[in-house]
Amino acid sequence: MVPKLKEQIENKSLLNHGTWAYYGNPKKVSEIYLFWTSVDTDKVGANKQIPVIISTADGKFYISSSTTARKQKSSAYKPYIAIAPTDKGNSSQYKPYIAGNEPFNTLEDAYKAYADVVKNDYPNYKDTLPQ
């Protein structure tokens, strides 16, 4: 993780747990979004269905799922397992993940719903929930 970014993440932040991915077009603020999961994607591997919280630029949070994918930045970096495979140049690709899903106005409410989804639908990942 970029050291400058890591310095700005508070100790209690969910971003210090699991895996997160920040996507979007910096020129279109309305199309910036963040995926977070309590799951360590490198440990579960590629092609696994995982639960996610998606934070959108309008301040809403959604519970969804994604399939992990192996990514390889370049020969200078080791391959890694990512959340939400992305299509190059498609900054609004999160929309299918949230279509028809209930929006939450606070991260606290979204996390409670996420924890319920993990416990009920992804029992193999229940130990990944931050305490």
50 CA to centre of own chain: 9
More confident residue, 37 or 85: 37
DSSP state of 84: S
Q: What is the pLDDT of residues 36-47, one digit of tens each?
A: 999 999 999 999
Q: For the chain, what is the mean pLDDT?
A: 83
* Residue 124 pLDDT exceeds 80: yes
The whole-number pLDDT of residue 97 equals 80
Please state, in angstroms and as integers, the Cα–Cα distance from residue 120 to each residue in 51, 85, 116, 126, following that order.
11, 25, 6, 9
DSSP state of 101: P
The whole-number pLDDT of residue 75 equals 58
- The model's pTM is 0.82
Q: Which residues contact 86 (CB under 8 A, 6 or more apart)?
A: 23, 93
Closest to 83 in 3D by CA, of 130, 42, 124: 42
* Residue 78 pLDDT exceeds 80: no
